[in-house]
Amino acid sequence: MSRIGKKAVPVPKGVTASVDGQKVAVKGPKGELSFVATDNITISMEDGAIAVMPRDESKAARSAWGMSRTMVANLFEGVTKGFERKLEINGVGYRAAVQGSNLQLNLGYSHDVAYPIPTGITITTPKPTEILIVGSNRQQVGQVAAEIREFRKPEPYKGKGIKYAEEKIHRKEGKKK
C-alpha cells in the first residue's frame, strides 16, 4: 500500500479544481495546470479534496498510485506558490545576464551561449554568478535548469562550471610530481 497515495490532496483557498475522467485541471493565482493520469488510476473529487486510488491491485497500478497523487499535489503547489531552482556559476570570467528573452552565458567558450527563455518560465540573475529559475510547472522548471547546467557541467578538479545551489561537487586531487 502506498502511504503517500492514501492521503487525499486538499484543494487550497483561491484555487479551483475539476476532475474529468483521468484529467485533473487546476486554476489558481499563478496560472492553469493540468495532469492526465494513466488508466490504472481512478481520480475523484470528494469533500474539497482530490482522492487518488488504484483501479486494481496490479503492480503497475500500485506503482503509479503514489506518483499520480504527488503530481496532483504539485499542480496545487505550482498554481499557489510556484517552484524555483537556483544555479551557481563558478569560474574566472564565467557570468550570466538576461537580455530580452534570452539568457546570455559567458562560460569560457570562444562564443557566448544564448539560451532562449521558454514561455511560462521567468529567469533572473540577482548576481552575475547566480541564475534563478521560477515557474509554476515543476517539470518545466527542472528541465530548464538541467538544460542550462548542461552547457558547462561542474568539473571535479577546480569546480568550474554551472551547478545547482544545493549540489556538492566531489573534488578530486590533481596530478602529483
Per-residue cell: 129: 554568478
Say if CB 155 and CB 161 are below 8 A apart. yes
Residue 88 three-state SS:
strand
The model's pLDDT over 108-150, given as tens digits with 9 standing for 90+, comes to 999 999 999 999 999 999 999 999 999 999 999 999 999 999 9
Reading phi first (left if > 0) and then psi (alpha if -120 to 50, else beta), residue 100 is in: left
What is the structure's pLDDT at 127? 94
User: What's the CA gap between 19 and 43, in Å, rounded?
Assistant: 7
Q: Per-residue pLDDT for 3 more than 90?
A: no
- What is the sign, positive or negative, of the torsion defined by CA atoms of 157, 158, 162, 164? positive
How confident is the model over 161-165, as a mean pLDDT? 95
How confident is the model over 7-33, as a mean pLDDT? 90
Q: Which domains does the chain have, with CATH numbers?
A: 3-80 (3.90.930.12), 83-164 (3.90.930.12)
Three-state secondary structure string covering 94-143: CEEEEECCEEEEECCCCCCEEEECCCCEEEECCCCCEEEEEECCHHHHHH
How confident is the model over 47-60, as a mean pLDDT? 90
Amino acid letter, residue 93:
G
The model's pLDDT over 58-80, given as tens digits with 9 standing for 90+, comes to 898 888 998 999 999 999 999 99
What is the structure's pLDDT at 1? 62
Q: Per-residue pLDDT for 46 more than 90?
A: no
- What is the sign, positive or negative, of the torsion defined by CA atoms of 161, 152, 144, 102? positive
Listed residue (83, 129, 122) closest to 101, CA to CA: 122
